[in-house]
Structure 1
Amino acid sequence: MKKLLIALAFFTMMTAPQAYAQMKWRVVAIAHRYVSPSIDTKDSTRFQYSYKHDRGSSIMADTISFDSMWGYSFVHPAGRAPHYAPNGIVKVCSYDSVNRLTRIIESPSPISSYTTDTVILYNAKGLVSDKVMYKPGSMSGNDIVRQFKYDYDTGGRLAYYGELHYWPNNTPINFDVQEWYEYDSLGRIIFDSTSLTPLTGPSGIHSGKTEYFYDTSGKRTAYGYNYNNTTSKYDTTTIGFTTFDSSGLIIKTELYDNRYQTQGAPIYSIVYEYYPSRLLKKTTADYYATKKVVDDYSYNSAGYIEQHIQVQYANDTSRHNYNYYYEHYWPAGVDETVMKQRDITVYPNPTQSILNIKAKWKASGALDGSVTDMQGRVMMRWSDKTNEQYTKQIQLTHLQSGMYFLNLSCGDEYAVKQFMVR
C-alpha cells in the first residue's frame, strides 16, 4: 500500500482533463507468472521500461514522463496502442498534499470493463471514513460498485466497518457486511461481531462473533461463534490460537473446528518467519493437512518488497508457482529517495509509548510528518520547522500494537521508515 512501484497506466488517465496539479501520482504495477519488468533508461523526469518473459522476448516498451506538478504523460511508440503485461495488475495511486492516499485506479491486464476507480475520504481526525469504488458505466459517468465505511472509538481504533453493495444505476441496497470491534485498556482487541446479509439466496441475516483472551506467555485465544436461527443462540464453531514473540510479532496462528479440536487436527495453521530487520521473510500455511502454501518475500536495502514467490502444494506435490516482481521508482529520482532512508533513524524500535526521530535534510524548511498504519490510515500528523538536522520525540500511547510507517517530507525530499508498537 505506500510503496512506489513501476508500472503501466491506461492512456485515458494520462490525458484526462482533471489535471493533477495538487496531487502526487505514483504508478504501481505487479507483474507475475514469470513476467518481470526491467528499466531501460531513467532520470528525474521519466523512465522507459519493458516487460520480458524469462525466455527474453520483449512484449512491450513504453515511456512515462513526469512533469513538474507530479503529473505525467504516457508516451507510446509510434503507431502503437497501449499494451499491458499479461497476468499483471495495473494500478495508479494519487496522494494529497499531506501524502494521504486519495485515489486508486486499477485494472487487470489486458484491460477490461472491470477496471475500478476507488476514491478514499478522510474524517476530521485524518482517519479513513469512506472508500467508494466505481467502475466505468455503460452510459456517461461511472457506476458505484461498493462503498466501504469506517468508524472509530475515542482512541482512534476501528470500531465499525461496513460494506454497502450497489446494484446497477447506482442503487444502494442494505449493508451486506457489517463488523463491530471492542478493545481492552491496553488497546488489544477483545471482541468482534459480524453480520452478513446475503445478496442472493435465502433471506435473513447470518451473524457471527469472536471473543479474544490473552495469557502471560504471549498467546491469544479466540473463540468463534455462529448464530443459530433455530435455537436463537450462538454456537461455538471454531477455536483459534495466535502466538506472538516477545516483541509482538506474530509467529504462528492456528484455527480448529470445535468439533475436532480434541483430535488435534487444525483447520489451518500458519507459521511466520522474519528477517533480522523484522520484515516478513516467509509464511508456511497448512490447510486440512492436504494443502500447503509457501510464500517467500525479498526486499531492497530501503525495506521495499522486490519479489514475492508463492508455491502451492497438494499432498506434498507442487501444483502452482507464482512469481511477483516489483520495481520502485519516484518521479523525483529513486536513488536519492532510497539513500534518504539511511538518513532517518528511529528508536526505540520496537517501542511501547514514545518514538525518537533523527533525520538529515539537504536544507532547512517546513517539515510535514505523519504516522500511518498498514492500511494507510493516518494515526497522527504534525508540522515543524527544521534545519538540516531534525530531531523529535512523539507519543504513541494511543496506538494499538502493530506495524506502522513514519512519513517525513521536507521540500522536495520524502522518506518513509517502518516501526513497531508493542
Structure 2
Amino acid sequence: MVCRNCGRELPQGALFCPRCGARTDAPVYSVADVPDPYYAREFASIAAGNPGRFNFAAFFLGPFHALYRGFFSCFWKLYFPLLLVQCVGELFACLYAGNIALSQLNTGGTGTLFGPPVLVSWLFSVVCGVWGLTVAIYNGATFNRRYCAYVQGDATRKPHVGALIGLIAGYLVWIVALVALIFSMAFRAFQTSSDWDLPEWDDYNSYYEDEWAGDEFYNGSYGSQVDDIFQQYLDYDQAYINGYLLEAERTGSYLEQFQRAHMFYSDEIPVYQAMSAGFDQLSVTEDVVENEELGVDAYLDITAVLGDTTFQLTVQQWDSYVWFVGQSCYLTDSPDDVYYMSVEELESVLAYCYEQVDGSDTSSMARAVRGSWSEENGSTFKITADTLAGEYYGLGTMIDGKVQGWNTDGGYVLMSVDESGENLTLEYYDAEGNLMQTKQCARA
C-alpha cells in the first residue's frame, strides 16, 4: 500500500503517511491544501503512538500561538482566565499607586507605597507568575497531541491570522487604556500639587514676609513684641533647636547640665545663657523618664515670659544629645488661649535671644562647615543648613570638636574645618562606628 498523496510505501494498517502526514484514506491533496510539514510529521508520529515533541512556540507565545493555530478551546480554557485576572491586577495596581500619590500630595507627606495592599499585590504577582509558568509548561508539552485531536489529524488546517490580530489589538487597547489612566492620575496629581506650595528653604524669607501677617497663619495668641520677632527673624536654621552636651559637661543635675548645653548655632554661648538674656523671666524644671532602650531620658519644662507673652517649651536631653521637642505660647492674661508654635517661630525667638547676648562669639563649627567645597578629584559639593537638617544628614552631637551628621543607614559623618576656615575634613563611619573613609576638601 502506498500513500496516494506522496507515493511513499506505507506500513500495513497505517492511518497516516509518515512522510507527508496525509490520511491513508483521504483524497490526494490539492495545491490549496498542502499540509504544514511540522504538524504533518508530528501528527504522523502521534498516530504511530508517540507522545509528540515539546512545542516551544506554544510555550513562549501561549495565547497568541493558540489563536494563530485556530485552537480556540485551548485559548479559552488555559489562557483567558489568566489574562483576565492579570488585567484586573494591573488595573488595581495603577489605581492604588495613583491614589497613594494623590494622598501624599494632598497632605504634603513623603510616605512610600508600603502596607497590606502592597503585600497583597506582591503575593498576587507571585501567584500569577507561578500560574502562568505552569500553564506554559503544560501547553508546550501537550499542545501537539491536543491540537492533533482538535483538528482530527488534519495537517492542512490554515492559520487564523485574524484571531491573532484581534488578540494583539486587544492587548494594545488595554495598554493604551492603562497609560491613559496613569496620565490622567498624574495630571490630577499635578493639579492638586499646584494648589499648595510649601516654601523652598531658599525662599523662606520671602514666603513668610508675605504670609505670616495673614490671619490664616496664626490666631494671634501672643503679644505685639513677639509678633515683631516673628516678622524680623525669618531664617530657617535647624541649628537653633538641635544641640549637644560635651562629655566633660555631663555632670550634676539635668538642669545644671542644660545650663551648659549648646545649640549648634553657637559653640560659645550656651542656650540657657541666650534664653536668660532674651526672656524677661525664665524657669526650668526637670522631668526624668526611665527608658528601657535609652536608659535615663530627661525632659526639661521651660516657662519663659517675654513682654505680655508666656512660652511653654520642652527640651529633651539624652546622653550628649539636646533638642527642643515642644513649643507653645499664650498671652499671659489668657492662659487658656494656647497657640502651638511652629519650629520656624521657635527658631525666630531663639535667634532673638542670641542677639541679646552682648560681647559673645556666636560662631559654630556647624555653620563653619557650610559653603561650597572642592574635593581632590576636582568635583565640588555644597553644604547648607538643609544638608544638615535631613536633606543628607541629621544633626547629632559634637564628637572631638567635630559636627556629627547622622545618615539614614545608621552611619554618620564627622565634619570639621581648620582654623583658617578654608579646609574641610569629612570622616565617614558605618553603623558600628568603624571609620570607612576620610576626605580632605578645600573651600571652592
TM-score range with shorter-chain normalisation?
under 0.3
Report the TM-score, using the length of structure 2 for normalisation: 0.20
Report the TM-score, using the length of structure 1 for normalisation: 0.21
* Bigger fraction of residues in strand: 1
* Bigger fraction of residues in helix: 2
